[in-house]
Amino acid sequence: MSRTTTPAPRRPRLLQALFNLRREEIGPVLIAALFFFCVLTALMLLRPARDALGMERGIESIRWLFIGTAVVTLAVNPLYGWLVSRLKRLQFIGATYGFFVLSLAGFWALLMFAPGAVGQRSGQVFYVWFSVFNLFVTMVFWALLADRFTSDQGKRFFALISVGGTLGAIFGPWLTSQLAQPLGTPNLLLVAGGFLLLALAMAWLLVRVAPDRVGTDTSAAAGGFSSEAERIGGSAWAGLRAVFRSRYLTGIAGYILLMTILATFIYFTRLQMVAAVSDSMDARAAILGNIDMWTQVAVLVLQLTLTGKIIKRFGLGVALAILPVATALGFIGLAIYGSFVVLVLLEAANRAVQRGITRPAREALFTVVSREEKYKAKAFVDTFIYRAGDVVGAQTEGALGRLGLAMGGLVSVVVPLALAWAALGLWLGRAALPPASTAPAASDDAHDGPDLPVAHATTSPSKTDPTRTV
């Protein structure tokens, strides 16, 4: 009696060699990459105008705009937490993106029908609005990805998905240069809104194509696959409480705080050098746009060549520690040479490493937390903590400038912060791994869910849990 066997499906060799993808993962990854492409295209259509408008009342005013942005971000967080608690997943994602589309339509109407009302004050309002918009639309994207993909998948192809965002970040400024003259600046807001609607469609498609994960929270563990119809529930302030209750989430918050403080040092150094080059808003916007474009090209090269290999070969900790080291070395070089070319290289290297290596690794850290923490704690960390770092960085840089310490004084602050930042990244990389003693035994169910560390396998603190406080 002949026995027939069904051959096991093989991964396409090219995809396995280049991108480490399985056949069934190709569709969700492409959808996620297109989702990120639409988000970053919308953002980068508007970013050069945001920076140019913000500089109209001088660099010092931007420091105060950072404070206003942080306050607005903190005020919006409980509202977002309430939406996450009360609405289904696609509903609160749609509400978030829909709000920003309607806001863009409102700014467009103001520019079209009441151009006389547009001045320095409205430019500042747009600056604050864009800064909040920028964080929330990207945070929602990454939260959905952390929800749909496992920890192993995040390490393997979050960097590949980030390539879609980088292409959008390159396409956005190019599209602005092509459409600004024939359409006019106000209509670019509607173009950006259109890309946000496309992003929302990709979110819907991703939820339909990528299956829900098992084991990310207690409800999922109890009932198998978590239904899209279920609400996350909980308190609007649950995200804030979770961050200060978990050493793991507190560590992520500290990492992001240090990252944004040092990124803000670079940002204000760039603004000061651009302001010294030209006092024309159009010229400044053009210079800033060129810096953005070439930076994104550097990001793309890094993502296509090294990112996935670094995370796979050395792990999340090393991937997270690369950016602090690169930032410290860049500031030392800027202090020695002090040229505009070195600044562009510093910013390009910083953003390339941040978006090409650090961001995929940092987002993979959230694949091992509960669903409520993915959407609530992550929102608090990625928005308010991020903007709090901006405020601290802006005020520190301004204080050093007023003391006359200039670049040398800045370097003396940057290097110690970068060392602490790198050490925290290494710790987070280890904390995201499951302890060997608690690894599940080999069985049919061993690979049904993500690799969860003990810290996040339950919603209540444990006395033996190394990443939680009691």
Residues 101, 378: Cα–Cα separation, whole Å: 22
| Averaged pLDDT for residues 42-50 | 78
Distances (CA, A) of 469 to 245, 255, 303, 465, 466: 6, 18, 37, 8, 8
pLDDT at 277 (0 to 100): 66
Using 50, 70 and 90 to split pLDDT, how confident is the model at 55?
low
Residues 92, 233: Cα–Cα separation, whole Å: 12
Which candidate, 384, 437, 428, 376, places its Cα nearest to that of 217?
376
The one-letter amino acid at 72? V
The tokens describing 245, both together, are 């209750």
Looking at 278-339, list the stretches that DSSP marks H as alpha helix, in order from N- to C-terminal side. Answer: 281-302, 308-337
Q: Could you give the percent of the chain with pLDDT greater than 70?
A: 69
Q: Which distant-in-sequence residues (6+ apart) come within 8 Å of 331 by Cβ?
A: 265, 346, 407, 410, 411, 414, 415
pLDDT at 36 (0 to 100): 93
Domains of the chain (ranges plus CATH)? 19-214+236-433 (1.20.1250.20)
pLDDT at 366 (0 to 100): 87
pLDDT at 49 (0 to 100): 64
| Averaged pLDDT for residues 75-80 | 83
The one-letter amino acid at 299? V
Give the Cα-Cα-Cα angle 366, 368, 370 (nearest 5 degrees): 85
* pLDDT per position as a tens digit, 260-298: 998 888 877 777 776 666 666 556 666 666 666 677 777
Q: What does the mean pLDDT of the chain come to?
A: 74
pLDDT at 217 (0 to 100): 44
The tokens describing 30, both together, are 């492409």
Which of 57-66, 80-89, 123-132 has the weakest average pLDDT?
57-66
The one-letter amino acid at 432? A
173 or 405, higher pLDDT: 173
Cross-strand pairs, 88: 231
Using 50, 70 and 90 to split pLDDT, how confident is the model at 349?
confident
Say if residue 174's pLDDT is above 60: yes
pLDDT at 166 (0 to 100): 84
| Averaged pLDDT for residues 240-260 | 90
Task: Check: CB of residue 355 under 8 Å from CB of residue 158.
Answer: no
* pLDDT per position as a tens digit, 313-332: 778 888 899 989 988 888 88
pLDDT at 12 (0 to 100): 52
* pLDDT per position as a tens digit, 372-431: 888 888 888 888 888 888 888 888 877 777 666 666 667 888 889 999 999 999 999 888
pLDDT at 454 (0 to 100): 35
pTM: 0.68
* pLDDT per position as a tens digit, 98-136: 998 998 888 888 777 776 665 566 667 777 888 788 888
Using 50, 70 and 90 to split pLDDT, how confident is the model at 235?
low
DSSP-derived letter for residue 366 is G
Burial of 442 (0-12, 13-18, 19+ CB in 10 A): exposed
Distances (CA, A) of 16 to 12, 148, 157, 327: 6, 21, 11, 33
- DSSP secondary structure letters along 29-40: HHHHHHHHHHHH
pLDDT at 398 (0 to 100): 76
Residues 183, 115: Cα–Cα separation, whole Å: 16
pLDDT at 456 (0 to 100): 39
pLDDT at 413 (0 to 100): 83
Q: Which distant-in-sequence residues (6+ apart) come within 8 Å of 399 by Cβ?
A: none
